[in-house]
Structure 1
């Protein structure tokens, strides 16, 4: 248990049986009336964001969330298997929990897995990853200076939009939060 005065960004609260992560908070001391804490919370499982106000000093229940760096091994059909690199324990994370992160995960890649009481809550990848383009249509000569884009398939099977000058087997940097092309990577 903690009080509303102890809130910090990234802290996970257990409110009415649901886990909420603190995105931002602000202590407010109005000229009249008692102080309070205005916060923005994100539901850990659904991603829904809500605003919540706590009176100053009110007790809030914190949840113990264990964030571990794990190595993605393979997809076994029912989920994604990750290995804790410190003790070599393996866990299977369901596809629904991994979500869109699966579009950017390669075997043996490191990721952060958040666990609450042994249950995986979410998988967090680095802000950007380097992947190879396996297929894209050739760009037309003369189209290179315009700002046009074309679809390209990554080695994970996910499709993104890339500039016209990108060719097959080019390594590119991709934003894992939005799926946007960030640039070419030279070897």
Structure 2
């Protein structure tokens, strides 16, 4: 589905130059002379890099359907992290390279949110608060 720059909203996901981008900020500008344009700050969905772009008003882009799924983290089998969909009870194995730094916050049976762009997994959000147990600590120095 094609959308215009007039339809931009913060958090919207678009396809631009073959990449998926999330709109962080946008501003419509109508100068005294010349045509209107839109200044945007966009985040690359895969790399997290933020880029400033300027588009002419009315420029069309392909909209990307973003979907979030609530899942439960089950276990790590060494190569993959296994999650279960809370609504369908289907299990999904996700590679450690995709999970990345989120792995240190995952505890068995915790709920997480997986973000998809179409059928492609683009992000994993752990719970906002995690309760972990301290098993060992160095003695304090005075």
TM-score (norm 2): 0.90
Q: Which residue of 2 aligns with 1:73?
A: 74
Name the structure, 1 or 2, with higher relative contact order (CA <8 Å, separation 6+).
2
Question: Residue 130 of structure 1: SS of its match in structure 2?
Answer: coil
Deviating beyond 3 angstroms after TM superposition, the runs of 4 or more aligned structure 1 residues are: none
1:5 aligns with 2:6: yes
**CA-to-aligned-CA distance 1:40-86 (integer Å, 9 cap, x gap):** 11111111111111211111111112111111111122221111101
Q: Which has the larger radius of gyration?
A: 1
Unaligned runs of 5+ in 1: 144-187
Aligned pairs, number? 141
Relative distance call for 1:34 and 1:127 in structure 2 (3 A) is farther
Q: Which residue of 1 aligns with 2:40?
A: 39
Question: Residue 126 of structure 1: SS of its match in structure 2?
Answer: coil
Q: 2: distance between equivalents of 1:125 and 1:23?
A: 21
Question: Is the CA contact (8 Å cut-off) linking 1:93 and 1:120 kept in structure 2?
Answer: no
RMSD in angstroms over aligned alpha carbons?
A: 1.5
Question: Is the CA contact (8 Å cut-off) linking 2:110 and 2:127 kept in structure 1?
Answer: no
